[in-house]
């Protein structure tokens, strides 16, 4: 009930009150991932990034493989803190789940972004990539390039797209039989 109140308060723009409600929800349900995630999201919206990071970390202690929480923490590191190094170090765990070809392509893309993000972005958006990359990694790399360009909104948009693509890929993978 307290989490539902927080969601309602957030929906009507009363974010400070929503933070208080979600904080209370985390005290009532200390093992609940959802209250911690809602708390972190609202703190992020208010620009209270250090507190949001701590809340996401707590949610990940409770559910270390939650794609929802992992993705939101990645977006916070990339967009909120502007820390591409930390964001990609954090994303490394998910990257290891991809096949070896994708991992090499991703590493090549990140090296290229660090060297010349403008050239990378022009090439990627024109569809002329010199290597194959899946949609998740493509969107992550464009998000990094946008962040380096100082375009937080663009970085957030591509980070969100990466999360959507990752969710689709995970759902498809769950449908495949395990050998």
Distance CA 162, CA 2 (A): 31
Higher pLDDT, 62 or 80: 62
The reported pLDDT for the residue numbered 12 is 87
The upper half-sphere exposure of residue 110, i.e. CA atoms within 13 Å in the direction of its Cβ, equals 17
Mean pLDDT of the chain: 75
Structure tokens at 29: 């349900």
106: pLDDT strictly greater than 70: no
177: pLDDT strictly greater than 70: no
What one-character DSSP code corresponds to residue 78? I
The reported pLDDT for the residue numbered 175 is 67
The reported pLDDT for the residue numbered 98 is 41
Give the other-Cβ count within 10 Å of 132's Cβ. Answer: 10
The arithmetic mean of pLDDT across residues 147-158, rounded, is 81
The reported pLDDT for the residue numbered 97 is 41
Beta strands in 24-166 (DSSP E): none
Is the distance from CB of 35 to CB of 13 less than 8 angstroms? no
Closest CA to 74 of 168, 163, 141: 163
128: pLDDT strictly greater than 60: yes
Q: How far is CA 21 from CA 1, 14, 97, 154, 161, in A?
A: 10, 11, 36, 31, 29
The reported pLDDT for the residue numbered 96 is 47
Handedness of CA 61, 67, 72, 78 (dihedral sign): positive
Query: Cα torsion at 126, 129, 133, 138 (round to 10°)?
Result: -40
Higher pLDDT, 179 or 18: 18
The arithmetic mean of pLDDT across residues 89-95, rounded, is 53
pTM for the whole structure: 0.52
The reported pLDDT for the residue numbered 156 is 80
User: 28-60: per-residue pLDDT in tens?
Assistant: 988 899 999 999 989 988 889 889 989 988 998
95: pLDDT strictly greater than 60: no
Containing H/E element for 52?
A: helix 49-62
The arithmetic mean of pLDDT across residues 11-17, rounded, is 89
């Amino acid at each position: 009930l307290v989490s539902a109140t927080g969601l309602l308060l957030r929906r009507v723009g009363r974010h400070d009150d929503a933070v208080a409600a979600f904080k209370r929800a985390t005290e009532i349900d200390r093992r609940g991932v959802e209250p911690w995630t809602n708390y972190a999201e609202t703190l992020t919206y208010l620009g209270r990034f250090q507190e949001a990071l701590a809340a996401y970390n707590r949610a990940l202690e409770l559910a270390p493989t939650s794609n929802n929480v992992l993705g939101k923490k990645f977006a916070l590191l990339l967009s909120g803190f502007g820390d591409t190094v930390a964001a990609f170090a954090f994303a490394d765990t998910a990257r290891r789940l991809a096949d070896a070809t994708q991992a090499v392509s991703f590493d090549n893309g990140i090296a290229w972004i660090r060297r010349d993000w403008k050239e990378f972005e022009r090439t990627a958006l024109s569809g002329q990539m010199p290597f194959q990359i899946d949609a998740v990694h493509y969107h992550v790399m464009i998000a990094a390039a946008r962040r380096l360009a100082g375009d937080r909104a663009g970085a957030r948009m591509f980070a969100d797209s990466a999360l959507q693509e990752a969710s689709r890929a995970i759902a498809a993978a769950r449908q495949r039989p395990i050998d």
